[in-house]
Amino acid sequence: MRPFFSQPWAYPIYGCIGASFGYWMQGVEHNQMRYLRETRDRLLEKRKRRAEREQGNIGNIGSELQKEQEGLFASPKA
């Protein structure tokens, strides 16, 4: 097998460069996983708050004024 470098002193430098790149990529992965974990937690908390809010609004379809209003987004009168 033919060597990559003609001088043997180049191998430790090549190894250091590869190790530093791996260390940097490990930091990138750590930051990405932290960001994804925070985003997931934020979304789960938002879903939980929404479910709690909707749990309390089951019978509430608006104020009396809103029930009697007509308009584009009003529900049809029965």
| pLDDT tens per residue across span 47-73 | 998 888 878 766 556 666 666 666 666
Q: What pLDDT shows up at residue 60?
A: 59
Please indicate, yes or no, if residue 69 is contained in any of the structural domains.
no
Q: Which residues form the domain of 22?
A: 11-53
Q: What pLDDT shows up at residue 51?
A: 86
**Domains held by the chain: number:** 1
26-46 average pLDDT score: 96
* Predicted confidence (pLDDT) per residue in 6-24, tens digit: 888 889 999 999 999 999 9
Q: What pLDDT shows up at residue 1?
A: 74
Give the predicted TM-score (pTM) of the model.
0.55
Task: State how far the alpha carbon of 76 is from the alpha carbons of 11, 62, 68, in Å.
Answer: 78, 14, 10
CA angle at residue 59 from 58 to 64, to 5 degrees?
Answer: 135
Contact 67, 76 (CB under 8 A): no
Please indicate, yes or no, if residue 40 is contained in any of the structural domains.
yes
The Cα 20–Cα 8 span in angstroms is: 20
